[in-house]
Structures are given as C-alpha cells and as structure tokens.
Structure 1
Amino acid sequence: MLPPSLPSRNGNGSGSGMVHPDDAIRQTDDDASSSRASAISLGYLTDPFSSILYKPSFSLGTSSSTTRKPPLINIGTHHRTIGIDTLVNQFLDSDGGQVGKQIVSLGAGSDTRFWRLVSRNDPPKISKYIEIDFPHLTSPKAHRISRSKRLNSSLSPTYKISQGGTRLDSSNYTLLPLDLRPTPTKSIHQLLDEHVLPLLDPDLPTLFLAECLFPYIPPEDSQNIISWFGSRFGDCIGVIYEMSGLDDSFGKIMKRNLASRNLSIPGSEPFPTPQSQAQRFLDPSLGKGMFENSGVKTLWQVREQVIDSEELQRISKLEILDEIEELKLVLEHYVIAWGIKGDKLTMSKITL
C-alpha cells in the first residue's frame, strides 16, 4: 500500500521532533519534497533547483529517511507535476503571454516552480509570484535563497529579508510567512486582504495553487480561500491537487495511515468524488467569489489523456512496475481540479 507521501504538500519539514500541534502537517512538506527528489534522481523529472531548496531531514520514524521512493510514488509525482505544469503554462501563455500574470502558491514549502519558470530560455511574463507557508517553513527557505546566487539572481532588482528572517520580498517574488487559518479576531478574507492583497494587482490575471493544502484544513476555510480569490480578481484560475474517493477500502487505509501520524483530513470529507472537487468552485454560497466554469481529472486520466505516449514510454524504462492495476487504483484516488472566472481566461480555454 502506498504510504501517505504522495498526498503531501510541497516543501521541507523541520527534521526535529514533533513538539508543536502543527508539526504533523509541517512534516508532510518533507514527504512531498523527498518524493520529488526521488523522482528527479531517477530521471522522471528535471529540476536543477530542488537540491538547493530541499535538504532532507532524517527524523526517526519518518519516510524521508530513504531517498529512493517506490515506483508508484515516483510515477505519481511525475504525473502530478505534468498535470499541474500543463495548467500553469496554459495560464501563463493565455493572451499570447503578453500580459503580466500573478501566481499565489499556498502552502508552498520548498517548491521550485518560480525558478523553473524564470529560468526558461523564453521565460513567461510574471508580474508577481507569492509563496505562502508557516513561518517555520519560510525561514529556512529564505535563508537558502539568500545564500544561493543561482536563486537570488532571479529576484529583481533587489530583495530584502524581514520578520526575523521568515519573509523575503523583491519586486517579482515574495515569500510570505502566514497562517491561513482564521483567528478569533480576523476572518480568512480579512487576513488575505491585509497580508496578500497589497502585494498584488487586482486587474491582472491571477492563479492560485493549492497542492494538498485544503485536505488538512476545515472545508469552510478552503471555500473561504476560494471565494476570496474569486471575489478579488476579475480574471482568476484556481488549481488544487487532492486525494479523492476515500470512502472505499483504499481510502480507509489511507486515512488510518495518516491518523497513525497524527494527521486528519477534514477538508476532504465533503468532496468524495472527482466531480465534487470541480463543483466546489461553482458553489453558489461563494457569492461574488463563485467561478464560472471548472474541470477535474484524476491522475489516471492525466496519464491516459494528457501525457504523450513518448513520455510514458520514456519513464516506463526507468523502473520496473509489475502491477498496472495497482497503479490505476492509486492514481484514481488523486485529482487535479481547477476553476476559472473572467472573460480573458475563459476564452483561452485552459483545461487538461
């Protein structure tokens, strides 16, 4: 059975013993980054920035102590990356790529997407890229960026570090330490209005990305995040990656595995099917923040319908995979869903 590494968020955990109530969630960052590092080391993916931003932790009892992951995880990581990259690239290329775009990555951890994009031979026009995570995770990332010429040379024209080393700002990139959960005195909308909106231009097309963040927070919180983006930006796309269909035997085992690590996924319960993940963007309760259309694909559908045959043939030679039915079972329990609003993005026909 697949360990709970595939559904983890992007990023890098602390590597220390769990002494904080959120440490179990923070550790999922290390799971995801170690899975990506495994896929990169075996040739599934190419990412020259991963080894700079991700430093493996070797905490007793964590899955990250082993660099090489099973083929099922490596293939899942590859398919997840291709699917999300496809949507992000279509967004950046909409309107011919002439208009500056904004991206907000929620729970970004050690993600390298910003550097992968700006290092292209023909980089897309990104007006602002924001990464948000716990201060505990933004602090080591800010430190690594500041120490790496390869990373900080992409920040224009200069950058500064503040808030005790947990925040980094430049004109095109911000690493923001922020707990996205509401407080007794501030709603999620108020938190985002105060900390995120001043960094963005509401008139520019904006994409928000949430890779396995929403399962770990109450569903009302994730819907409030979706509604905030939909209400603040006329042209907006949301992309989420999550587990789905957890009422069957596979899902029950996954939830037991997560529970053994002090993890629960309350945000997944109201969205038991792939279609329900797409429908969450169209919920009338979102009000002004409701999106205009949405779509969803399981990772198995990404494999069958999105990834070209030559790429599938290439990765099939990297490792031996005996059980294609087991692969299908696993990939059908993970989805990439998206919602779109605004004439500019709707006409661009962004889809998988």
Structure 2
Amino acid sequence: MLPPPRPAPSASAHPDDAIRSTDDDAAASRLSAVSLGYLDDPFVSLLYRPQRIGRDSSSTHKPPLINIGTHHRTAALDAVVDSFLSASATASRPAQIVSLGAGSDTRFWRLAARQDFRLGKYVEVDFPHLTSVKAQRIAKSKVLVSALGEAPPAAAGAPMAPPAKPYKVGHGGTSLSSERYTLLPVDLRTPGALDQVAAALDPDAPTLVISECVFCYMEPEASREVLAWFGSRFENVASVVYEMCGLNDAFGAVMKRNLAARNLSLPGALPFPTAQSQAERFLDPRLGDGVFTKSGAKSLWSIRSDVVSDAEQARISKLEFLDEIEELRLVLSHYVVAWGTKGSLLEGVGL
C-alpha cells in the first residue's frame, strides 16, 4: 500500500537500494497484519526482522488502511494461486510456481504446510542483496528447512557423518536450492537473467508466474520481455501481477511525490492507468502471437466485494476501528491484481 515518505538516500547509495527497500515495506505491512489478526502466517517473523523504535512494539503496527489492503492483496493472490493449483491438478507433470522479486515472501512455506501440497517446484527470484539475507534466515530455521524436502541419501559405504542437509547454498551464499524450493539471485533486467531461471524449471510443467510490485519499477520494455519469455516458453502458463494504477489523479500525485522523496519512480506503472489496461498488457501484440490468450483484472476495491467474503469482512472489521470508508475505497481503487493465461489447462485461472 502507499508507503510513507523516507529521507532520500545518500549520493553514494546504489541505484537499486531504494527498490530493495520496498521489500521492507511489504514485509513490515504483512507482519502488522499478522500481529493484529488480519492474516494467519506463522512464517513471516522467521523471514523478516523489523527494526523496532525503542521498546515500543506498536511501532511495527501499520494504520488500518494498510492492514486492510494487505489482507485483500493476500486474499486475492491466494485465490489466484488456488485456482492455478486446482486447474493444474490433472496435469501429467507437477505444477510449478515462479515468484519474481519475492523478497521476504512466505508463500512457499504457507503452501508447504497444507495437506494438499503437491507442487513440483517453487522458485523465488530477487536481487542478490535480498536473497543472501533470505538464504541465511532459511538455513538458521529448523521450521523453514523442514519444508524444503528430503536430504539426499548417503552414498553406499560412505563413512559416518552428520545428517545431510536438504539444501545447498551457492553463489557466495546468495542462492539456495533443494528438492522443492530454489532461491535465485537474479536481476531480471540483465541479459541472460531468465536463462538462470529456466535451469531451475521443468519446461513441460504447468507454470504460474507471480509478480508483486516488481514490473512497476522496471521500464515497460523490460517487463514486456519477461512476460514474453515466460508466455512463449511454456505450453500451459499463467501470470499474475499486483501493481499500482490510476496515478494521474490527486492520490497518484501524492504517491509519486512520496516515492520520489525515496528516490523511487514508477516507469512501469504509468502506461497502465486502469485495471483494464493492466489486463490488456498480457494481450499486447508486442509480446508475440499467442503468448497469452486470456486475461482479466480487478482493483482491490472490487476484490473486497467479489473475493473477500461477507463473513471475512465482518471478522476483520472488528479488529480495528475504521470510519473512513471513502478513503478506503480511494486507496484500494489504486491497486490492481491482473492475470493472463495460456493453454486450455489453465484458461480458468484468475479471480
């Protein structure tokens, strides 16, 4: 949701430091929503360490508007993932998920904790600066490691040794790979970056690509190349994005001004001013013929009524007092979940 302004970075900071810091915003918002009862996620505190101000734990709590937005965002993405898993259940190859710009996201562990977990592979991609921290936190947590799969058996006749770990760390501690899960240090804007991702995937498996607030920080040509690559490589593929939209009004002007104060811009969001335009990005002829064949989109405000049940809305309404429903509508209308699909197996994926 709309982040507060922060001091501008120093002149010596890396150009991507501001983008990297957005993971802290998302993770802190998720931790707030979990701590207040909006979401159930026992893994967020294992993958994210908030910077507390003094001894006041309330500093980790976000305003109700952000907590509600985080809840609706999660509900929508979870619904898309569930529809993908349901649609791909009959496939001959286990389905796989790729999460771009995953940061401190916990979705793999939340899925792995379910009794119906049946993914062949879950691949996360982000800047090395972020994957190194995540790899360390995974390796230090027995809970997180336990979801990675079985350790390889020892070779026959091998001398006694400590139990093998179910994962390997590489690239100077910035990557982690296991039977079920792979974490890759990749900058999607660099040539050949997607070839590294391809090496971790099954080219014949149904594939879902998740991108939450990633493409908005990339030039439109770069995100178009990413979508074209995934859409052309897999026979059955779906992609879902979570982005800002409608930035040409007063609210959008405030958002852009706050982000500019943090050395952030949104070149990838400006060409998509509406939910419909976000849906149409998947059908852009510049992607190539038949890359994606169906698409759709909903704002978080529409998701509130179409995806979040009345019972769930009633539950979360008791968690915090919110009397500005028009302000909530304004905020939620500026965020959208859009999806595109290719292949008869996945044509029903979406909201």
TM-score (norm 2): 0.90
Describe the SS at the equivalent of 1:196: helix
Number of residue pairs aligned between Structure 1 and Structure 2 = 328
1:269 positional shift: 1.3
Amino acid at match of 2:185: P
What runs of 5+ residues in structure 1 fail to find an aligned partner?
Answer: 6-15
Q: Over residues 113-132 of structure 1, what are the superposed CA-to-partner deviations in whole Å (9 max), with x where a residue is unaligned?
A: 00000111332x11111000
Amino acid at match of 1:231: S
Give the aligned partner of residue 305 of structure 2: 304
Describe the SS at the equivalent of 2:78: helix
Describe the SS at the equivalent of 1:199: coil
Describe the SS at the equivalent of 2:120: strand
For residues 139-154 of structure 1, the aligned pairs below 5 Å read: 139-154=132-147
Q: Does 1:337 align with 2:338?
A: yes
Change (3 A) 1:78 1:336: same
| Percent pairwise identity | 60
Change (3 A) 1:162 1:95: closer
> What is the rounded CA distance, in whole Å, between the counterparts of 1:191 and 1:247 in structure 2?
33
> What is the rounded CA distance, in whole Å, between the counterparts of 1:81 and 1:264 in structure 2?
24
Change (3 A) 1:22 1:135: same
Say if 2:238 and 2:349, in contact at 8 Å, map to a contact too. Answer: no
Q: Over residues 82-111 of structure 1, what are the superposed CA-to-partner deviations in whole Å (9 max), with x where a residue is unaligned?
A: 000000011011144665111000000010
Q: Does 1:164 align with 2:160?
A: no
What runs of 5+ residues in structure 2 fail to find an aligned partner?
Answer: 5-9, 151-165
Larger mean CA deviation between 289-298 and 228-237 belongs to: 289-298
What is the RMSD computed on CA atoms of the aligned residues?
Answer: 2.0
> What is the rounded CA distance, in whole Å, between the counterparts of 1:272 and 1:263 in structure 2?
18
Give the aligned partner of residue 12 of structure 1: none
For residues 41-80 of structure 1, the aligned pairs below 5 Å read: 41-57=35-51, 66-80=59-73
State which of 191, 194, 200 in structure 2 corresponds to 1:192: 194
Say if 1:128 and 1:173, in contact at 8 Å, map to a contact too. Answer: yes
> What is the rounded CA distance, in whole Å, between the counterparts of 2:269 and 2:141 in structure 1?
37
Q: Over residues 236-275 of structure 1, what are the superposed CA-to-partner deviations in whole Å (9 max), with x where a residue is unaligned?
A: 0000000001101111111011001110000011111110
1:65 positional shift: 9.4
State which of 22, 32, 40 in structure 2 corresponds to 1:38: 32
Amino acid at match of 1:274: A
Give the aligned partner of residue 233 of structure 1: 234
1:290 positional shift: 2.4
> What is the rounded CA distance, in whole Å, between the counterparts of 1:289 and 1:269 in structure 2?
25
State which of 20, 24, 28 in structure 1 corresponds to 2:14: 20
Say if 1:57 and 1:65, in contact at 8 Å, map to a contact too. Answer: no
> What is the rounded CA distance, in whole Å, between the counterparts of 2:90 and 2:79 in structure 1?
15
State which of 69, 73, 98 in structure 2 corresponds to 1:104: 98
1:17 positional shift: 11
Q: Does 1:272 align with 2:273?
A: yes
Give the aligned partner of residue 8 of structure 1: none
1:201 positional shift: 1.1
1:284 positional shift: 0.8
Say if 1:282 and 1:294, in contact at 8 Å, map to a contact too. Answer: yes
Ranges of 4+ aligned residues in structure 1 off by more than 6 Å: none
Give the aligned partner of residue 83 of structure 1: 76
Give the aligned partner of residue 249 of structure 2: 248
> What is the rounded CA distance, in whole Å, between the counterparts of 2:12 and 2:269 in structure 1?
24
Q: Does 1:137 align with 2:139?
A: no
Describe the SS at the equivalent of 2:97: strand
TM-score (norm 1): 0.89
1:56 positional shift: 1.2
> What is the rounded CA distance, in whole Å, between the counterparts of 1:163 and 1:33 in structure 2?
25
1:57 positional shift: 3.2
Amino acid at match of 1:82: A
Give the aligned partner of residue 161 of structure 2: none
Change (3 A) 1:120 1:268: same
